[in-house]
Structure 1
Amino acid sequence: MKKWLRNFIVIAFISAILQYAWEYWQCGIFYTMNTKAPHSPLMWSATFGDVNMTVILYFLLSFINKDLNWIVKKWESKEYVIMSLYALFLSFYFEVHALHTDRWGYSDAMPMFLNTNIGLIPVIQLLILFPVTFLMSKMILKKFKNADI
């Protein structure tokens, strides 16, 4: 199997599990939804979007590193800086857009990002889950490498 395809599959799978677990955990506590729409389709939609963002970040870092297999190598500070900036930009963008279009709202339990109307939990979600997804994927991919799969 091609390395980039193997990497893509592992990253997408790990991301889907982690992002869905986070969405499931936070949805009922921190968000209010339109009562006409059930939470589940929105959670699946958010999870799908989060997985896409993760995969795009992987390919962005592959382009920057000029190596599709960068994930299994020693990371430099630029990987963490890019992950953090990407997470901040996307989390703010999607939260502002969703709030503006009334896709969802926040419950009183949602802590807010300083001096904004943006919830802190979705920002933390991407800041944590992008690197955790890549670190878990790195561990799994190294096992594949050692097994010559």
Structure 2
Amino acid sequence: MNFNLNLFITPVIALGLVLLAYFYSRKRVESHPAYHKYLILVGSLAFFFNWAWEVTQGPLYAGFKFDLAHISFCGLASVADMLMVYALLFGFGLIYKDVFWIKKLTIRGVLWLMLAGWLGAILAEIRHTSAGNWAYADAMPLLPWVDAGLLPVLQFTLLPTIIFFLTKKIVKFDTLKQSK
């Protein structure tokens, strides 16, 4: 793992876009406290699940050790992953014209979400491995033709759907309304 400025470009852009989407969506909801609780739940689940996944798949990256430096790197990667989950939440919110779109999550919506996560993860993995930000160990299974790691691609194909499904089960959506 190579700490360099290039590693932070995508998360900084994602943070800027997420902040813009946050304020845009905030203007369109009736209850700001409920909106904030909703976003805190999504962010907490996103960070926790991605951190657990990052640490678990760590040995599939070259030079990974279970030490403070590498576990911290997994924490930073999880913050970036959380921002990407927010980007999906807000992006689909714009498409559906409702930031609370997960309350009516359908099979078709899940498939679109998984496709977006799959494509985004492949592009991110190609970008970061080609830039030398990280490298895979020999044990990492690779997707043919793109040489992206299978586990990081599965991470962003599956985890956002799990996070949004759990959020849908936990949140009382009758208290959350999009204003007209």
TM-score clears 0.5:
yes
1:54 matched to which residue of 2?
85
Does residue 1:31 correspond to 2:58, yes or no?
no
**1:34 shift after superposition:** 8.0
In structure 2, the residue matched to 1:18 is 49
Return the alpha-carbon distance in structure 2 between the equivalents of residues 116 and 57 of structure 1: 23
Residue 5 of structure 1: how far off its partner (Å): 1.9
Residue equivalent to 1:5: 36
Q: Does 1:76 align with 2:106?
A: yes
Q: Which moved more, 1:114-123 or 1:46-55?
A: 114-123
SS of the counterpart of 2:171?
helix
- Mean CA deviation greater in 18-27 or 89-98: 89-98
Please list the CA deviations of residues 16-63 of structure 1 after superposition, one character each: whole Å capped at 9, or x if unmatched. 110000001001x2111489x931232122101110000111111111
Q: Is 1:107 the equivalent of 2:127?
A: no
Runs of 4+ in 1 over 4 A off after TM superposition: none
* Aligned residue type for 2:115: L
Structure 2 residue 147 is matched with structure 1 residue 117:
yes
Distance of 1:60 and 1:78 partners within structure 2: 16
Query: Would you say the 8 A contact 2:126–2:146 is kept in 1?
Result: no
Query: How far is the alpha carbon of 1:115 from its aligned partner?
Result: 2.6
Aligned to 1:43: 74
Query: What is the aligned-residue RMSD (CA, Å)?
Result: 2.2
d(CA) in 1 for partners of 2:151 and 2:37? 31
Q: Deviations over 1:94-137 (max 9, x none)?
A: 11111112111111111110233211110001111010000111
Shift of 1:76: 2.8
Cα distance in 1 for residues equivalent to 2:101 and 2:129:
36
Gaps in structure 1 of 5+ consecutive residues: none
- Aligned pair count reads 142
TM-score (norm 1): 0.84
Letter matched to residue 146 of structure 2? T
Look up the equivalent residue of 1:104 and give its one-letter code.
W
Instruction: Name which of 127, 132, 143 aligns with 1:97.
Output: 127
Aligned-residue identity in percent: 26
Paired amino acid for 1:79: G
